[in-house]
Structure 1
Amino acid sequence: MENKGIEFQVNVAAIDQKDFKWNTSINYSTNKNKLLSLSDKNFQLAAGYFDAGTTEEPIQQALARIQIGQPIGNFWGFKSVDIDENGYWIIEGKDGAAKPIAQQQADDKQIIGNGLPKHYLNFNNSLSYKNFDLNVTMRGAFGFQVLNSPRMFYAAPVMLTRGNLLTSAYDNIYGKRPLADDQSLNYLSYYIEDGDYWKIDNVTIGYSIPLKKVAIKGLRVYASGSNLVTFTKYTGVDPEVGVSGLTPGFDNRDRYPATTTFTLGASFTF
């Protein structure tokens, strides 16, 4: 595998006065990978690719294709382009023409997204004014897609006989009508969403109380909040999904979401 990218960080003392200080840092990284070979003198893979991951029961299709000349993380499935008047999917065939999903062929599948972010950005700020201090940490990832597995399973009326549904299960698809409930669940590009996000990851505010005349020289009290706000167009719970292994960008329907936490504390200087 070949990886090419850059990373840089800029640290700035924006304000450095006696009572007021502001330090800020920006970190940016980007990486592009390409699979060069799946064979060596001991092992030959004639096909030039293999499929990885699974959408789980009852769909049970491979998630990604690992292919020579392509990056890791490519989602591999049918590209949905419409639904017909009866609520059945219409997909794009290998020749680029639209066709009913009932006429699908294995070679109609194509790359429908990639789960590896192309860009990462971190923006950190530390401010202090006399005895007050404020720290704000923000970060984001951009240029990638997420397979919204909960939506794929639970936002289709097909699942009515298998358990609970999301309230969006009977929403119109492509502005037409709800999906027909007598077809199989399908792994389609319709459920691949842009995963770009920007998070206010942590905000901490503190106040230092000098206590030089007692055994404790200093006391700092603080309040902190983590995972406060996420800005994204992703319709799932959290676009920050796993990006390791061969199937990055898969939002597993059993994944426990990240939590928002608030902390009150105090630190002592002796």
Structure 2
Amino acid sequence: SIEYFEIDTENLIVQDNQKIGTTAIDASAPYVNFGSVSNKGVDFLISYADESSSGLSYEASFNLSSYKNEVTALVNESPTAGYSGYRGGAVTRTQVGQPISSFYGRRVTGLDTNGRFTYAEVDGTPGITDGDRDFIGSPHPDFTWGLNLNLGYKNFDLSAFFNGSQGNDIYNYSKIYSDFPTFFNGNRSVRVLNAGTGIQPALSESISNSETQPNSFFVEDGSFIRLKTLQLGYTFDDAIIQKAGLSGLRIYVSGANLFTITDYDGLDPEVVGRGAQTIGVDEGIYPQARITTVGLNINF
């Protein structure tokens, strides 16, 4: 099946981080009527099930979803800044005509002889200015997908679920702490072993250098493929379990998040932001645990 959708959301309610005073360190941003957003896309689903003459049953279903997000109106008619960490400016920008929570900053072009970032001059004027900031990534994927597989043979059953995302970016804010830590002797990422080689920025004791300001160094491809769940089970014959006074007995072993294929350097590519203006911002989220379970289903 194929389904096309158009969803227009008006008076979207979000937290406005720009309304927090600089002295209100622990204050939460107030909720405001933000603006309007349009989502247009396609959902696709295909399923197949059959059983062979040998008793092997199998079923597969695949779904894919793709959408385009666009901000169509803002209450104050001006671009709105999103998440701002204490060691950098706002990393997202919401603007009419752009996807909500787009990443905004300077585009890194390389490293200079001192091991510092060099940036693209967007506005055409000499030197690095605020006008050189631009949209540097989007947290919205080209498409997301899921695949369900089920097999059954005699008393055995096997099920698996894969899911993935393709084409979305992640702002890896955690690299500010791992690659540019506050304390000089603090723990660092192994990436800093390449510092000064033309691959990684030079080390610095300063926490106020420009490297931690929003830029494309922190924007990474968030595409991934994950085996979300896998389960193998065995159901005992009635002739066996009825002797024990049972009406049903099944033993199974299952696993969750068994493997993930991704180029993302962070702990987990399935990033959940704080709100509508922090989509795709990884502040060092705790990764989804790999879980193995052995269980029994008993019916009396």
Q: Tell me, in whole angstroms, the C-alpha distance in 1 between the residues paired with 2:238 and 2:47.
A: 33
In the alignment, what sits opposite 1:9?
Answer: 45
Contact 2:115 2:198 in 1 (8 A): no
- State whether structure 2 residue 280 is matched by structure 1 residue 256: no
State the AA in 1 paired with 2:291.
Answer: T
Q: How does 1:44-55 map to 2 (within 5 A)?
A: 45-47=76-78, 49-54=79-84
Q: Which runs of 5+ in 2 are unaligned?
A: 1-36
In the alignment, what sits opposite 2:140?
Answer: 116
Q: Secondary structure at the match of 2:176?
A: helix
Q: Secondary structure at the match of 1:30?
A: strand
- State whether structure 2 residue 93 is matched by structure 1 residue 65: yes
Q: Secondary structure at the match of 1:181?
A: coil
The verdict on how the C-alpha distance between 1:46 and 1:202 changes in structure 2, with shifts beyond 3 A counting, is: closer
Task: Give the superposed CA RMSD.
Answer: 2.1
Q: Tell me, in whole angstroms, the C-alpha distance in 2 between the residues paired with 1:178 and 1:46.
A: 38
State the AA in 1 paired with 2:118.
Answer: I
Q: Tell me, in whole angstroms, the C-alpha distance in 2 between the residues paired with 1:74 and 1:216.
A: 57
Q: Tell me, in whole angstroms, the C-alpha distance in 1 between the residues paired with 2:176 and 2:69.
A: 28
In the alignment, what sits opposite 1:238?
Answer: 268
Q: Tell me, in whole angstroms, the C-alpha distance in 1 between the residues paired with 2:164 and 2:183.
A: 36
Contact 2:104 2:214 in 1 (8 A): no
The verdict on how the C-alpha distance between 1:52 and 1:162 changes in structure 2, with shifts beyond 3 A counting, is: farther
**What TM-score do the two structures reach when normalised by structure 1?**
0.87
The verdict on how the C-alpha distance between 1:17 and 1:252 changes in structure 2, with shifts beyond 3 A counting, is: farther
Residue of structure 1 aligned with 2:258, choices 222, 225, 228: 228
In the alignment, what sits opposite 1:29?
Answer: 65
Shift of 1:142: 1.0
- Identity among equivalent pairs (%): 29
Q: Tell me, in whole angstroms, the C-alpha distance in 1 between the residues paired with 2:157 and 2:200.
A: 54
- State whether structure 2 residue 149 is matched by structure 1 residue 125: yes
Structure with greater contact order relative to length (CA < 8 Å, sep ≥ 6): 1
Q: Tell me, in whole angstroms, the C-alpha distance in 1 between the residues paired with 2:280 and 2:197.
A: 24
